[in-house]
């Protein structure tokens, strides 16, 4: 299997540089999360699609920021196998709320989803705090390594 990352852009809200985002995410998986063997698909979606997925698969009303499907035999072990659905519309809303950029929020959602694949959970308070600390640490390191504003593409919505 080795390292396979598929990035699909199915939203129409923001221009995305898929090539750059794929490269940065592969660095996150291999260098910061220390996985050599992975098969991850990331879907960038809009609010309407995220609402449909959230209601169909999780029976939750409305949209959300990130949904993770873990297909590995044992969460947190290699190979890392799963699918992330990232809502770019939600990143725009939350960026205003948290006084950050939509690009940074989008990367936070990717980090969050990958942490779920690594075995982190956010259902109870103690686990949620631990996951949030790791999420913040990884996002800080990503900001040092990359200009997250480069997530935004300059021309076509779809590549």
* Tens-digit pLDDT profile for residues 87-97: 999 999 999 99
Percent of the chain with pLDDT over 90: 90
Domains of the chain: 3-151 (3.40.390.30)
Residue 74 has, within 13 A of its CA and on its CB side, a CA count of 2
* Tens-digit pLDDT profile for residues 105-132: 999 999 999 999 999 999 999 999 999 9
Q: Is 70 annotated as a binding residue?
A: no
Q: Is 57 annotated as a binding residue?
A: no
Q: Is 112 annotated as a binding residue?
A: yes
DSSP secondary structure string, 34-101? --SSEEEEEEEE-HHHHHHHHHHHH---S--SEEEEE-SSSTTSSSEEEEEEEEHHHHHHHHHHTTS-
* Tens-digit pLDDT profile for residues 55-82: 999 999 999 999 999 999 887 788 999 9
């Amino acid at each position: 299997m080795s390292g396979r990352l598929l990035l699909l852009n199915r939203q129409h809200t923001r221009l995305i540089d898929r090539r750059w985002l794929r490269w940065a995410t592969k660095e996150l998986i291999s260098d910061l999360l220390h996985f050599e063997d992975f098969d991850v698909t990331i879907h960038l979606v809009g609010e309407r699609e995220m609402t449909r997925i959230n209601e169909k698969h999780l029976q939750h009303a409305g949209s959300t920021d990130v949904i993770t499907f873990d297909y590995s035999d044992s969460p947190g072990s290699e190979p890392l196998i799963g699918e992330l659905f990232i809502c770019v519309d939600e990143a725009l809303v939350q960026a205003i709320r948290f006084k950050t950029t939509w690009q940074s929020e989008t990367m936070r959602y990717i980090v969050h989803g990958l942490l779920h694949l690594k075995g982190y959970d956010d259902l109870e308070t103690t686990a949620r705090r631990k996951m949030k600390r790791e999420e913040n640490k990884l996002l800080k390191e990503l900001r040092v390594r990359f200009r997250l504003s480069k997530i935004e593409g300059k021309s076509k919505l779809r590549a």
